[in-house]
Amino acid sequence: MPIQPNPRPWQVLAADLALLVVAAVWGAGYPVSALAIRSITPLWLLGIRFAIAGTAMVVLFRRHLRGFDWRGAIPVYALSLVMALSYLLHIYALTLSTAAKQSFIAGTSVAMVPFVSAAFHRCWPSRVALAGSLVTSLGLSVLAFTPGMAFNGGDVLSLLMAVTIALHVVLCAACIRKHDALAVATIQILCGGMVFLLGAVLLEPLPDFRFTPGLWRSILFLALLATVFPFGVQCVALRYTHEVHAGILLALESPFGYGVAILMGQERLRGQGLVAGAILLAGVLLAESELWRGPSRERTEPEEAEEAAEEAG
């Protein structure tokens, strides 16, 4: 399942719409996780979540794991560790901060992705994509601003999580140039699950597993809808769209998370939400306008060299 060298505009648009759905699901995961950790310790929550998700992904995508080059997949294992670190920061930050606040801070990854991408590929994204990223960042800033708000240790962890999110998007795009996208998604979840379960066994007391129906619903939502579905979709979508586009769309998990937190009674609706929403929409539309201005995905020199070598071979 190699990356598409010159995807058509409708393919890029379909990939971007899929990432928008992923952002909505991941956004809903913030308040659901915040609710779940009131009843179970963080590492056991992550371990059980990823164990269920990993089992489901092996069943669903076992065909994609056949013939996978396990020995030559060191970048995929590195990607898995970045993902695991991101979730560790996410769950521990929630014990110190609020779901809405974390979703806003995590959204700052949208401003980091272009710089991480530029450092990784030694090539800047297009000016349209950069502008879309900056406008989206402005919208998130407006949405997050509260007079006199103070930052705590949980917010620092959330900021570090934003860095890992940006790094994860860029590394994921790089990994699927070499490996099957759904195999990459599955291996991430399996490796993450092993890290979380090992940490839970070593560092946290064993739960009695007599979970309430509400906790099981939260765990199953996080495992199936907020892990299996988005990781599979993200890895496939990155075959068609640039990682900067992906970073912009995935940053919309912040307003989605804020909205779900309001519906769950964890936050109150604030007046600047409409203004911020309009700015966010402008940023997304600006980035998407690139589809109709010319080539839908800019190729870096290393990518072009790899594709030429593959064609020659």
CB 241 within 8 A of CB 250: no
Tens of pLDDT, residue by residue over 55-105, are 999 999 999 988 888 877 888 999 999 999 999 998 888 888 776 677 677
Domain ranges of the chain: 9-312
Q: What is the DSSP code string of 176-190?
A: TTTS-HHHHHHHHHH
Other C-beta atoms closer than 10 Å to the C-beta of 90 total 21
Q: Region 124-147: what's the mean pLDDT?
A: 72
Q: How confident is the model at residue 262 (pLDDT cuts 50, 70, 90)?
A: confident
Q: Region 249-278: what's the mean pLDDT?
A: 71
Name the residue with higher pLDDT: 287 or 213.
213
- The token pair that represents 141 in the structure block: 């800033």
Name the residue with higher pLDDT: 6 or 207.
207
189: left (phi over 0), alpha (psi -120 to 50) or beta: alpha
Tens of pLDDT, residue by residue over 151-200, are 677 888 888 888 898 899 889 988 888 888 899 999 999 999 999 999 99
